[in-house]
Amino acid sequence: MITIIGSGRVGATTAFALLFFEVDNEVVLIDVIKNLPQGEAVDLNHAAAILGKSVRYRGSNDYKDMEGSDLVIVTAGLARKPGMTREELAGKNAEIVASIAEQIKRYAPNSIVIITTNPLDAMVYVLYKKLGFPRNRVIGFSGVLDSNRMAYYASLLVGIAPESIIPVVLGQHGENMYPVPEASFIYGKPLTEFITKEQYDDIVKKTVQAGAEITSLRGFSSNWGPAAGLAMMVDSIKRDRKRVFEASVYLDGEYGVRDVFAEVPVVLGKNGVEKIIELKLNDEQRKKFLDSVEAIKRNLAQVPPQFLS
């Protein structure tokens, strides 16, 4: 059973995306807003009937209904509002994530947990600390989205399909992320051999600003891209595909970093994060990666200390 906590745009869209993968025949949507998850479940069941998919949805306002879930997706949290500081957002969402962690620990203690709540790398750290699960079972969603955004923008310039590019974006999910076109490949050749310096800069800029552009254009943040990425990650875990994705995971010496979550390439299978892939970074790349990690640590410093232990 899969549980999605949070029935807003990302949660509901993810539930719909999972319909096409049919990795589990039961998906539970949980939200604190009365009737919202129930209504989404009814609509999704109608969609399943139309598409001939063998997935059944249940909506609930009671965390107890996640009992027995082997995979939990956390999309709940507040979006940053006008006038709200990053410190306020970090504090409010840390409180939400910490309370959700207690419920997951109680009702789905053997689950693999993926979270999308922002600021992502700080919130997955809070989740990890409060759950007490092994690090392979606590995953921050971000890298799948960031890296494939870069592949999309590069594909427009190079003139090939995005899936033919192996993209690399490291570090923070946010404005201090580190896109690495020179470590990204097209059938064994570095992406930088296909683009000019100006195109390189353009790809990096568009990748970093993608989320802000979407929010500026339509007034709220992305949901279709995150839902697609989450569904791919869930498919790899539930079907033990052992596919390589980028995700925000707990580093304990990898890349010379400890006690922090950051975007890096990983192998996802039935045990969650089955392997962290360490790329060989030159001195300049390592500095940029570590600068991005420092930005994550600054985010963590904005979280009240009671949520970090």
For 142-178, write each residue's pLDDT tens digit. Answer: 999 999 999 999 999 999 999 999 999 999 998 899 9
pLDDT band at 84 (very low <50, low <70, confident <90, very high): low
Residue type for position 196: T
Q: How confident is the model at residue 78 (pLDDT cuts 50, 70, 90)?
A: confident
* Residues with active-site annotation: 173
Nearest alpha-carbon partner for 27 in 5, 47, 56, 70: 56
Higher pLDDT, 231 or 211: 231
**Confidence grade of residue 290 (pLDDT, cut at 50, 70, 90):** very high
Report the alpha-carbon distance of residue 237 to residue 33 in Å, rounded: 29
Q: Model-level pTM?
A: 0.95
Length of the chain: 309
Interval 1-12: pLDDT, tens: 999 999 999 999
Q: Break the chain into its structural domains and give their ranges.
A: 2-140, 143-307
Q: 126, 77 in Cβ contact below 8 A?
A: no
Dihedral angle of Cα 190, 191, 197, 200, to the nearest 10 degrees? -140
Segment 105-117 shows an average pLDDT of 97
Segment among 116-125, 150-159, 207-216, 258-267 with least mean pLDDT: 207-216
Residues 216-232 have a mean pLDDT of 93
Other C-beta atoms closer than 10 Å to the C-beta of 80 total 17
Each as own residue / partner, the long-range contacts of residues 30-34 (CB below 8 Å, 24 or more positions apart, any chain) are 30/3, 30/4, 30/5, 30/6, 30/59, 30/60, 30/61, 30/62, 30/63, 30/65, 30/66, 31/5, 31/6, 31/7, 31/59, 31/61, 31/76, 32/61, 32/76, 33/7, 33/61, 34/61
Query: Which of 83 and 241 is assigned the larger pLDDT?
Result: 241
Looking at the structure, give the CATH architecture of the domain made up of residues 143-307.
Alpha-Beta Complex (3.90)
- Residue 67's alpha-carbon distances to 98, 242, 263, in angstroms, are 18, 26, 30
29-65 residue pLDDT tens: 999 999 999 999 999 999 999 999 999 999 999 999 9
Mean pLDDT of all residues belonging to the chain: 95
Cβ atoms within 10 Å of 271's Cβ, excluding its own: 15
Does position 80 have pLDDT exceeding 70, yes or no? no
Q: Does residue 129 carry a pLDDT above 90?
A: yes
Q: Work out the pLDDT band at 27, boundaries 50, 70, 90.
A: very high
Fold of 2-140: Rossmann fold (3.40.50)
- What is the average pLDDT across 93-122? 96
pLDDT digits (tens, 9 = 90+) for 180-201: 999 999 999 999 999 999 999 9
